[in-house]
Homo-oligomer: A and B are copies of this chain.
Amino acid sequence: MVEATRPTPLAEAQAFRMKVRRGEHARHTAGQAPGMVQGNVAIMTADDAADFLRFCLRNPKSCPLIGMSEPGDPRLPELGDIDIRTDVPAYRVFEHGELVAEPTDLSNWWRKDLVAFVLGCSLSFDEALQDAGLRLRHVELDREVPMYRTSIETAPAGPFRGPMVVSMRPFLPKDAIRAIEVTSRHPRMHGAPVHFGDPGAIGIADLARPDYGQPTVVEPGEVPVFWACGVTPQAVVAASRPALCITHKPGHMLVTDRRIGDFAAF
């Protein structure tokens, strides 16, 4: 009997990215290239980039920076053979805070003064939680994770300021403890949670009405656990209304050549 050989996770990531580059995959990236890091993308002019870099460094739980390009250079060699103009399935272009286009490549938008930032993403840490044997309600319900604006203020830098956005996963206390242990090993994918229990303590009025994503179910005996979320920088950048800003379309992430373990603090 001949067994089918499965490609390595790295080979899967590279093959998937080539499909995206050729325009053959413009959908979301959940479940693609398991074991490999996926990233949030934010692209802005060099003028804004210095402030945004400082914003990331001051808010590492919301904005865990894993890669940054040189001005005008679309490559990100530390994350793989990447061309940020073509390797994300879908983009969103904002001018002065208004959404003006949703292209699938940036050939018409790239400029010599643009800088690309890649931030760790909770798709990767959901995978780490599942590898630890934890069940994720939003995955089992086949929904997006619910996300909420909070009363926790980010540390501002230049024009960038605003509330922290968090994602919520319900767990029994013993599983919440395990989830805290696991995610504390992944500081570049938002790390340990910022809160658990009473939503009102961080300014969330109603768990059933998330600001982003879809509501989930908190069963009796479970507590909601809240992690800083990559939507934070997107919301903060949008609110600062820069002349130009380009992000990935939510759920349509950059698949990198880095393993989840590469960024873990074991």
For chain A, the count of residues having a C-beta within 8 Å of the partner chain is 18
Chain A residues numbered 143-198 whose CB sits less than 8 Å from any CB in chain B = 173-174, 176-178, 180-181, 184, 192-198
Question: Is A223 interfacial (CB-CB < 8 Å)?
Answer: yes
Question: Is A205 interfacial (CB-CB < 8 Å)?
Answer: no
One complex includes copies of this chain to the number of 2
Question: Is A201 interfacial (CB-CB < 8 Å)?
Answer: yes
Query: Taking CB as reference atom, which chain B residue is nearest A176?
Result: B196
Q: Which residues of A contact B (CB under 8 A)?
A: 173-174, 176-178, 180-181, 184, 192-198, 201, 221, 223
* Residues from chain B with Cβ under 8 Å of A184 in the complex: 180-181, 184
* Residues from chain B with Cβ under 8 Å of A198 in the complex: 173, 221
Interface centre among A177, A193, A196, A223 (most CB of B within 10 A): A177
Give Cα A223 to B217, complex, Å.
22
CB distance from A64 to the nearest CB of B (A): 16
Give Cα A184 to B194, complex, Å.
17
* Residues from chain B with Cβ under 8 Å of A180 in the complex: 177, 180-181, 184, 192
Of the candidates B173, B178, B192, which one forms a contact with A201 in the assembled complex, judged by CB atoms under 8 Å apart? B173
* Residues from chain B with Cβ under 8 Å of A177 in the complex: 180, 192-196
A221:B201 contact, CB within 8 angstroms = yes
Of the candidates B174, B181, B192, B223, which one forms a contact with A194 in the assembled complex, judged by CB atoms under 8 Å apart? B174
CB distance from A102 to the nearest CB of B (A): 37
Query: Taking CB as reference atom, which chain B residue is nearest A172?
Result: B201
Query: Taking CB as reference atom, which chain B residue is nearest A223?
Result: B197
A197:B197 contact, CB within 8 angstroms = yes
Give Cα A260 to B216, complex, Å.
42
The 6 closest A-B pairs by CB, nearest first: A181-B184, A180-B180, A173-B196, A173-B195, A173-B197, A177-B192
Give Cα A192 to B178, complex, Å.
8
CB distance from A150 to the nearest CB of B (A): 12
